[in-house]
Amino acid sequence: MLRVNLIVLALLLACAAVVSCDSVKSNQAESARIRTKLEAIPLNQKVQFTNDEWKYILTGRQYYVLRRRGTELPFANAYWHTHEKGIYFCAACGNLLFSSDAKYDSGTGWPSFWQPIGGDAVSAASHSSFGGGTEITCARCGSHLGHVFDDGPKPTGLRYCMNSTALKIVKAAGN
């Protein structure tokens, strides 16, 4: 009887493994399909994906920050103390957001910039929530990036306090 139970258990585990592998292949195929769809959208057009579609192409942490308006811990994120020259893009859709030329050390533990790369790179949300700051979203896909405060350096007097998880840097040649 013990042998029969072991055989049945082994068969159940084998079936579960096959189903699990099929699910992973299905998820990979769906992820590839959505990434291809994203790459086909010109950079000057809006990206309008469902939250389910974003889940396929973002990591869990990225989804929490970008789509659920979360935040990461200060002083424990990728770009808070980065000094390399380059351009920062939206981690969700690839929209150009900030230049390292506008990045400065605000002492807050998050990457901070005194201006976006272009006037239409980011959007200010209609509500303010985080310590008096106004929420900043990607103008192309609507993903949450961080907040803007009016205590930044000259010439703008603004501090765009961003989540590293929401950004990807493309380093300038020579870095």
- Report the chain's terminal Cα–Cα distance, integer Å: 66
Catalytic-role residue among 90, 138, 141, 161: 161
Nearest to 110 by CA among 158, 43, 161: 161
Question: Is-contact 136 127, C-beta < 8 A?
Answer: no
The Cα 1–Cα 6 span in angstroms is 9
Q: Is 161 a catalytic residue?
A: yes
**What residues are annotated to the active site?**
161
